[in-house]
Amino acid sequence: MADSNVWPNGYRCAVVLTVDYNDIHGILTQAPEVAGRDKTLSVWRYGSQRGVDRLLGLFEELGVSSSWCIPGIVAEENPGHIKAILAGGHEIACAGYRHQNYDSLTLAEQSADIAKGCEALSALTGQRPAGFRIPAGNGKPGFIEALRDQGIRWSSSWRGDDLPFAHPTAPEVIELPLHYELEDEPYFAFNLSPAVPPAQSRIASYSHTLGNLQMDFAGFHRFGLCYVLRLHPEIIATPGRIGVLRELLQGIQQHQDVWIATAGEVAQWWADSAAQVTADHPSAVYERHYRDYGV
């Protein structure tokens, strides 16, 4: 039996495909020492050169929608990709303007980055984004309220649950939680010199990674949860790894009771139909503690 019966039209669980499209800006935040090293940066430029088109092609082939989290500067540098993502029927969400570590920013700086990112995306798409993902780091106390004030209605940055939830201090913002085991980066992110990640290679077995993702889907499906994949064009969209994603999605599509939807669609459904967060929910506990300690 599923733990919950919360999805529309008798669906047993929800699946949300999210793509972090950061181009080289993501690695420059993670490893600033690679600035000016074109050979290294080319590892991440692969996403723009090949990965975006390959992902869009797979999504079109399978007839699935997705949500793309994009910093404003990446959108400005790649307007053709923005048009292609929209033409494919996909959702575009904000990831700030510059890919930054939010731990190093004040709340005012975080708010300004959110606003600038939303404005850049609005200028290119003609519509203000409704979703947000923190590029790196954590929001300061008041961050969720800042998202709400910029018109953001869903976030996919936190963890702590496997169903969506409304943020306790700004219930207009619905969180779609992430899990590291449902991301491509922990399995495959790798650069030899300089080492990324430091001292830890991550080129996992493709078959074992597929097996992990399939087993997680089986659990999320069994318990009626929200399975949020987090993908990166430069990581998952190589000629071999795109086959891992194809096989995973084809297996998911064999289940007639799975709702494959954008983050915005799931968040809207949750906002319209779900109960509010209880006091013992992980998000409410976290909210109380980080405000108490003034992090």
Q: Does the domain spanning 8-293 belong to CATH 3.40.120.10?
A: no
Question: 289 CB contacts (<8 Å, ≥6 apart)?
Answer: none
Please state the pTM of the whole predicted model.
Answer: 0.90
Q: How far apart are CA 234 and CA 272, in angstroms?
A: 36
Residue corresponding to tokens 């990166």: 232
Q: How far apart are CA 185 and CA 36, in angstroms?
A: 23
Residue type present at position 174: I
Contact yes or no for 120/97 (Cβ under 8 A): yes
Report how far Cα 61 is from the mean position of its chain's Cα atoms: 21
Residue type present at position 261: A
pLDDT digits 0-9 by tens, 167-204: 989 999 999 999 999 999 999 988 777 777 777 677 89
Q: How far apart are CA 152 and CA 264, in angstroms?
A: 10
φ, ψ for residue 177, nearest 5 deg: -65, 150
pLDDT digits 0-9 by tens, 28-79: 677 777 777 777 777 768 788 899 999 999 999 999 999 999 999 999 999 9
